Amino acid sequence: MKVFTRRISLETGRRRELINITKEVRRVVAESGIRDGLCTVYTMHSTSSVIVNEDESGLKSDVIAKIGEDFPRDRGWAHNRIDDNADSHLAGAYLGPSVSIPVEGGQPDLGTWQSVFFLELDGPRSGRKVVIQVMGE
């Protein structure tokens, strides 16, 4: 059994944005040499999230539009008395900081239409830190 952890750093270009990091996740799983175990992808920022979904351009714009509608920026949020990103924090709290995916045969168990995305909720930013960890044997 072993634990293999890597951090990646992301640059985002818009306030809300989906960045497909499946390739990075697969690369870390491969580098780990772990055949069977669990892969956790965790964002170290509470104004962002990690989600699993299909990588289709229309769907990505739907996700961004839906979040904008459900978590409007200007609503007199109390947090905005000291900052301007209450909506980003609220969306991050709802969507969560991580996903955990079983690993079998050296591959994460992603279905045909599943990709792993970093979801920026308060960009543009540089240096967004995401931890990819594989534990297993």
Binding its own copies (rule: CB under 8 A), the pick from 8, 63, 106, 107 is 63
End-to-end CA distance of the chain: 4
Contacting its own copies within 79-98 (CB under 8 A): 79-83, 86, 89-90, 92-98
Query: Cβ atoms within 10 A of the Cβ of 71, count?
Result: 21
Site string for its own copies, 93-132 (x = CB under 8 A): xxxxxxxxxx-x----xxx-xx--------------x-x-
- Min dist. Cβ of residue 20 to its own copies (A): 13
Residues 9 and 127: beta-carbon distance below 8 Å = yes
Site string for its own copies, 3-42 (x = CB under 8 A): x-x------------------------------xxx-x-x
Q: Which residues contact 34 (CB under 8 A, 6 or more apart)?
A: 2, 4, 103, 106, 134, 135, 136, 137
Q: Name the residues that contact its own copies, by CB under 8 A.
A: 1-3, 5, 36-38, 40, 42-46, 51-54, 56-59, 61-63, 65-66, 77-83, 86, 89-90, 92-102, 104, 109-111, 113-114, 129, 131, 133, 135-137
